Amino acid sequence: MHDEAFESKRFARQTRFAPLGTDGQARLERARVLLVGCGALGGVLAQTLTRSGVGTLVVVDRDLVEVTNLPRQILFEDRHAREGTLKVEAAREALERIGGPTRIETHATHLDANNLDELARGADLVLDGTDNLSTRYLVNDWCVKHGVPWVYAGVVGGGGLIMAVRPGTGPCLRCIFSEPPPTGTLPTCDTAGVILPAVGAIASLQAGIGLRLLAKPDGLEPALLELDAWNGDVRAVRAPREDDCPCCGRREFPWLDAPAEKQAVALCGRNTVQVRGRGPRPDLDRVAENLRDVAREVRRAGPILRVDLGEERMTVFSDGRTLIEGTEDIDRALALYDRYIGA
C-alpha cells in the first residue's frame, strides 16, 4: 500500500542540504544513470543512488557472484556466491528491498561497442564501476562523442583514483592517460589485493560527484583525485584539457569505432576465459538436455546454465556468452565451446 505521508518524508534531510535543495532533488528523480559494473565500486554506487532517489538506474554487469567478492561487494551474500547468482540479479534483489522511487533496470551482458548505444540511450550520467581499462576507454569515447558526463574511478589495495569527465568543459580520460598501459603492468585486485574501506571511500566520493553532476554541475572544477583510505591521504591534481587530445580534441574514437572484440578473452587473475556467443541465442533447455549424458553435472539457474565438465566448468548465458573456468588457454576454451555448445 502506498503511503504518501511516509514517502513525503523520505528525502527531507537530503533536501535540507542547501547545495542540493528541492530543485536538485527533483532533477535527481528525473535522471537516468547507466552504471557499468555492480561489484565493489558498483555496489556502493548502486546503493547510494537508489537511496538518493535517482529516477532510473540501469545496471550492466557480465559476471557471477563468487565467494572472493563477499569481503568488499556490499550487495551480495553467502547464498549468492554458493549459488553462483548473476551479479545483476543479486543487485536488483538488494536494491529493491530499499524501496523508494528509483526504477532498477538490469542487463546481464558484457558492455561493448555493439550494445553501448542501446544501453546508454537517454542516460544523463555514466558511472564507472568496472574493473578493466578497455571498457573505461570505450565509455570515455561514447560519452565524449555524445556529450554525456561520466565519472571514472578505480581502486586497488588501500586507495584509488576518481575523475569527473564533463565533455566540452574539462579534460577527458585520454587528456590524462592518453593510452592504456600495456597489459600486466598495473597492479590489480588479484595481485595487490583490495580492502573494503578503500572501495567505500572511493565509491562514496565518486557517487557524490555523480549526484552533483546530475543536480547542480556548475562550479565543479575538473581534477584527478587520489585517495588513500589506509594512510588517510587525499590529493587533488588539477587537470587541464589537452587541445590535442586524440579523443575530445581530435574527435577520434578508436574504442567505439573498433570492430567487435575478440571472440574470446582470458579474464585477468580468474583462470577463466570468456567466449562471446556466435549466431542466434542458444536454447538453454536444449543445450542442457544435450549435455546431461556427457557432463558431470548440468544445472539450470534461471537465465544461465551451469555445466561441470570435471577440470573445467562452463557458465552459459542466454545471449550465448560463456565463461569457461579452469583454464586460461583461449584455444582450449574455444575448443570446449565448439564441442559442447556449438557454433
Q: Are both 132 and 47 inside the same structural domain?
A: yes
* Closest-CA residue to 247 (of 181, 165, 310): 165
Identify the domain boundary among 212, 229, 257: 257
pLDDT of res. 333: 84
Q: Are both 313 and 225 inside the same structural domain?
A: no
pLDDT of res. 277: 67
SS3 label, residue 215: helix
Domain count along the chain:
2
Q: Residue 121: what residue type?
A: R
Q: Are both 232 and 276 inside the same structural domain?
A: no
DSSP letter (8 states) at residue 309: -
Its domain, for residue 12, covers 4-257
CATH code for the domain of 271: 3.30.310
Rg over CA atoms, the chain: 21
Q: Are both 186 and 303 inside the same structural domain?
A: no
Least confident of 35-49, 148-162, 216-230, 255-269: 255-269
* Residue partners of 182: CB distance under 8 A and separation at least 6: none
Higher-confidence residue of 246 and 278: namely 246
Higher-confidence residue of 61 and 294: namely 61
Q: Which residues face 103 on adjacent strands?
A: 56
Q: Are both 146 and 216 inside the same structural domain?
A: yes
pLDDT reading at 186 higher than 80: no
Across 244-260, b (16+ Cβ under 10 Å) vs e yields: ebbbbeeeebebbeeee
What percent of the chain shows pLDDT beyond 90? 66
Residues with a known catalytic role: 189
pLDDT reading at 59 higher than 80: yes
Least confident of 35-49, 101-115, 160-174, 251-265: 251-265
Q: Are both 217 and 304 inside the same structural domain?
A: no
Q: pLDDT, tens digit, for every residue of 85-124?
A: 999 999 999 999 999 999 999 998 888 898 999 999 999 9
Q: Are both 247 and 281 inside the same structural domain?
A: no
pLDDT reading at 184 higher than 50: no
pLDDT of res. 133: 84
Q: Are both 248 and 274 inside the same structural domain?
A: no
Identify the domain boundary among 257, 288, 305: 257
Q: pLDDT, tens digit, for every residue of 2-23?
A: 677 888 899 999 999 999 999 9
DSSP helix, strand, coil percent of the chain (3-state; round to 5): 35, 20, 40
Least confident of 99-103, 180-184, 281-285: 180-184
Identify the domain boundary among 241, 257, 273: 257
Q: Are both 125 and 253 inside the same structural domain?
A: yes
* CA atoms of 164 and 161, how far apart (whole Å): 10
Q: Are both 250 and 274 inside the same structural domain?
A: no
Phi-psi region of 122 (alpha: psi -120 to 50; beta: other; left: phi over 0): left
State the average pLDDT over residues 178-206: 82
Q: Are both 307 and 221 inside the same structural domain?
A: no
CATH code for the domain of 204: 3.40.50.720
* CA atoms of 332 and 204, how far apart (whole Å): 41
* CA atoms of 54 and 86, how far apart (whole Å): 23
SS3 label, residue 292: coil
**Beta-strand (E) ranges in the chain?**
32-36, 56-60, 103-107, 125-128, 150-156, 159-165, 223-228, 233-238, 264-267, 272-275, 297-301, 304-308, 313-317, 322-325
Q: Are both 16 and 144 inside the same structural domain?
A: yes
* CA atoms of 155 and 153, how far apart (whole Å): 7
